[in-house]
Chain A
Amino acid sequence: MQPKHNLEKLEKTATKLRLHVVNMVAPSGQGYVQQGLGAADLFASLYFAEATLDPANPDWPDRDRIFLTTAHNTAILYATLAERGYFATDRLDAYVADGSPLEINASERMGAVVEATCGSLGQGLSVAVGSAVAAKRQNRASRVYAILGDGEMQEGNVWEAAMFAGSAGIDNLCLIADCNFVQCEGPMNRVMSLDPLMNKMESFGFACQEVDGNDIGALLGAYDIARTATGKPSFIKANTVMGKGVASLEGLMFHQLRFPPEVAESARAELEAQL
């Protein structure tokens, strides 16, 4: 059987996205480098293979919806949107510049491609649930994806939304937790652990899978299974590694990394060598 997607091409896309992340954050030092590098495979697989989107018509009513509820992870989001054709890649140069809509927290100043403004953590899943319910009532094929950070799942609002989705069996909803195990303070278990997260989500009525969030093939397989779930929302625990793809940054757990020029230069050289 012919594989549905060209894995090698998607991996190359992820590397391109990583290079954008480095180039976008390097000039000002503002932006979440480690999280962007860690989530690049998730974004590449979702936006370039799994989701049904039309960059020429970002508000197409039958599109799949992707809610980035960890709205600060914008370097990777904007890089993805540009490479996917929503806007020209040279607009990435204005990342976090005064006056630019490419703000550090994604806002709907970007247009319909930002499904909701979510910088205040924990709110996005509710909006995703609402749009999934609406898509069902309107008989649309749209699937709704919500990308949450694991730290964000400490917000109570997340669990109210999850309880509703599970109770109502919203099966066009797929919640992806980008689990990099770090929050502002440091490793999550130093503050408040989510464990056992899989059991929690199962008990809330989700069809659950745990995958290596830096393995594009595994992510694609998980999306396939999620699409077949009936009567249950899906949960994918995607374990990601901060700084993935750049050997000098891989596994360094900085929530807010300063990005000294020496480090940016080294990261750029590493990624360019991979392309």
Chain B
Amino acid sequence: MKATLTRLEAADFINRSFKPLPRAYGDALVAAARTDERIVTLCADLTFPTETEAFRDELPERFHNVGIAEANMIGMAGGMARSGEIPFCHSFSAFITKRVLDQITMQVAYPNLPVKLVGFLPGITTILGVSHQAIEDLAIMRAVPNIAIFEASGPEYHAAMVKLALDWDGPAYLRIKRPETAPPDFAHQTLEIGKGVLRRDGGDVAIIAAGLCVGESLRAAEQLAGEGIAARVVDMASIKPIDRDSILQSAAETGAIVTAENHGIIGGLGSAVAELLMDEGIGLPFKRVGVQDQFCEGGTTPYLMRKFGLDAPAIADAVRGVMKKKKG
């Protein structure tokens, strides 16, 4: 028999194999809580995956892990908010929206309380499969009155998520994807309620994207530039309220729009943009990139982005399609 490890040796190997990731959101939440006494943090047994371990350790009297019991977490947050606190509630996107929708509607949204719902694992990008994927959370949350929806396109915007949530005087839903590996150094960027960020300018077509699809859209735009197509990319971090001005301006200046989101094509960012254009009587070549009307599966992020048509090549194809219609 080969030499085997002792329990102590095994534990040591295991402990050393944990690699820390940046915690831009979690650290920003702690910093905000230091200056705003009203902020409390709730989580449903996902402390590390929602970056709330620093809050737990530094402000333990204002941190509650309520156990694997999301519905109770939202109800408790309602009670705390009615008592003057600002609860930030954390789970994965699927559970912080779909699982607790009725509690959100009645105990948070209807009384218009400052409860902040923070969902990690947005969209399809998780190995954990259909139960942990959120491809309809934006559609559902957009339909609930009073709730603002913000999505970060990368870790440089994670700290800004905390500020947006606090700037919005009511309930908010934050959609945040943790980096899976340590990203290169980044500088924190700011965001504003109701404002997108022009990430790349271009006059032929506008790609209005959110979350993980912003990076893919930028890659697509780079590729398209080589084909003589100048694509602008708008990072629509404020999904509700949406940036009407920038969408209408993009429509007027480019005459063709593609939307891209880590979400189903029904009811999310693409639908929000289409609704605005129709309401304004604007018809133009238009295509939504997102998960088609289907359930997905667990897998690595690049595999899923490819398979379900959310990656740069899929976005570039959609752009080529609208450009053909524009010229046609």
Contacts and interface: CB of A to CB of B under 8 A. Distances in A.
B189 interface: no
B146 to A, nearest CB: 25
B295 to A, nearest CB: 9
B3 to A, nearest CB: 8
Interface of A is mostly: loop
Interface string B295-319: 0011110010001000000000000
Contacts, number: 126
B67 interface: yes
Interface in A172-191: 183-185, 191
Nearest to B56: A185
B45 A185 contact: yes
Interface string B1-19: 1111111011101101110
Interface in A47-100: 71-72, 96, 98-99
Contacts of B303: 98-99
A96 B2 contact: no
B46 interface: yes
Interface in B1-46: 1-7, 9-11, 13-14, 16-18, 45-46
A266 B132 contact: no
Interface residues of A, number: 48
Given A119-B131, A258-B17, A258-B18, A249 B10 contact: yes
Interface of B: 1-7, 9-11, 13-14, 16-18, 45-49, 65-69, 71-72, 94-95, 99, 127-132, 297-300, 303, 307
25 contacts: A71-B131, A72-B128, A98-B300, A99-B307, A104-B127, A105-B130, A107-B130, A109-B297, A118-B131, A119-B130, A120-B95, A151-B45, A151-B67, A154-B45, A154-B68, A184-B48, A191-B65, A192-B67, A250-B7, A252-B10, A260-B17, A263-B10, A263-B13, A266-B5, A269-B3
Interface of A: 30, 71-72, 96, 98-99, 101, 103-105, 107, 109, 117-122, 151-152, 154-156, 183-185, 191-192, 247-252, 254, 257-260, 262-263, 265-267, 269-270, 272-273
